[in-house]
Amino acid sequence: MLKNYLTFINRKIKEIKEIVGEEKALSVLSGGVDSSVVTVLGHKALGRNLKVVFINNGLMREKEPESVVKTFKKFGIKVKVVDAQNNFFRALRGKTDPEEKRKAITAAFYKDVFRKIVKEKKIKFLLQGTILTDIEETVAGIKRQHNVLVQIGILPEKEYGYKVIEPLIELRKDGVRKVAKLLGLPKSIYQRMPFPGPALSARVIGEANPERIAIVRKATEIVEGELKNSGAFQYFAVLMQDKATGIRNNKREFGNIIIIRCIESTDARKAKPTKLPWRVLEKITKRLTTEIPGVNRVCYDLTPKPPATIEYI
């Protein structure tokens, strides 16, 4: 098995070298395991001809850009942070439908931000960490993953002016994690909890504007911090669109509702809620309602997948 993954690594390095030749390629890191593996493979194949960027789309978790740059610096890979927050918030303005939000993010990523970088740096190829599950779910119409293009009729070369290389397309998440470990990536990456491509905009029901993203970012920090030793497969916070009546300082407050989601799963295809101790839930509730202004109600989601999905949008 291990030998198979080593063979996979060598085959992919060779393939990337052959496709890109003497041209330049771009890898866009998100800090997740898929884009990290693709970046290391690309770096091994192309050296300085691989340009690595981290797009700060304004939808990331607290301190995420800084931590990604630091991790890859240790690895000898220079990551340029591109501030594209305005592009993404402009694209998301007024959008409340989940698929519309995904489409807006896809367009902002590929048409707006990447196309500009690619033109400036004269890049012909984009290395991308699409995996088999992304394709399967998108093609089956379950969810449009923002990185799936050709399979839904978008031809990147024609529409955006560059070719896309997808070295991980034959692997599922467990395979990518094994490759990441073999490549020497740190545990914080190869064991990283899944995080959706549309980032925190997927954790906000309704419009993902800077104010609402700031609320869910703070809630995410609290929930991730409190549950980091839970051993659960995935845990996060979601900001609801509805509001609820509460009482604070003897005054009526029509405030925000946060859902805590914490699940057990092996491959994200099925999931069960974690039986979290009551005191843990109480502590998180206390922190969410005191540390985030305007949050006055917290719920714990008890729904398995199916019929729910893990994420809310």
Q: Which residues bind ligand XMP (CB under 6 A)?
A: 143, 145-146, 194, 196-198, 202, 234, 268, 305, 309-311
C-beta of 32: minimal distance to ligand XMP in Å? 8
Residue spans of alpha helices (H) in 21-114: 33-46, 64-74, 85-92, 98-107
Q: Which is nearer to ligand XMP, 20 or 179 (CB)?
A: 179
Give whichever of 165 and 268 is closer to ligand XMP, judged by the CB atom: 268
Q: What residues are paired with 35 via a beta bridge?
A: none
- Residues near 208 by Cβ (< 8 Å), separated by ≥ 6? 59, 89, 92, 95, 101, 200, 201
Provide the token pair at 271. 């999931």
Q: How far apart are CA 310 and CA 32, in angstroms?
A: 18
In angstroms, what is the minimal distance from the CB of 132 to ligand XMP?
13
- 241 by DSSP, 3-state: which? strand
Q: Any idea how long the chain is?
A: 313
Residue 42 or 98: the one with the smaller Cβ distance to ligand XMP is 98
Q: Which of 99, 114, 291 is nearest to 201 (CA)?
A: 99
Q: In whole angstroms, how close is the CB of 213 to ligand XMP at the nearest point?
A: 16
32 vs 255 by CB, closer to ligand XMP: 32
Buried b vs exposed e over 179-196: b needs ≥16 C-beta within 10 Å? bbbebebeeebbebeebb
Name the minimum Å distance from CB 30 to ligand XMP: 10
Q: How far is the CB of 139 from ligand XMP (least distance, A)?
A: 14
**Contact at 8 Å (CB) between 292 and 213?**
no
User: Which lies closer to ligand XMP via its Cβ, residue 65 or residue 198?
Assistant: 198
| Nearer residue to ligand XMP within complex by CB, 20 or 38 | 38
Q: Name 92's Cβ contacts closer than 8 Å, sequence gap at least 6.
A: 101, 104, 105, 201, 207, 208, 209
Q: Which is nearer to ligand XMP, 7 or 188 (CB)?
A: 188
Q: How far is the CB of 20 from ligand XMP (least distance, A)?
A: 26
Choose between 194 and 206: whose C-beta lies nearer to ligand XMP: 194
User: In the bound complex, what is the minimum distance in angstroms from residue 267's beta carbon to ligand XMP?
Assistant: 9
Q: Shortest distance, CB of residue 138 to ligand XMP, whole angstroms?
A: 9
Question: Who's near 256: CB < 8 A, 6+ residues apart?
Answer: 215, 239, 240, 243, 244, 292, 294, 295, 296, 297
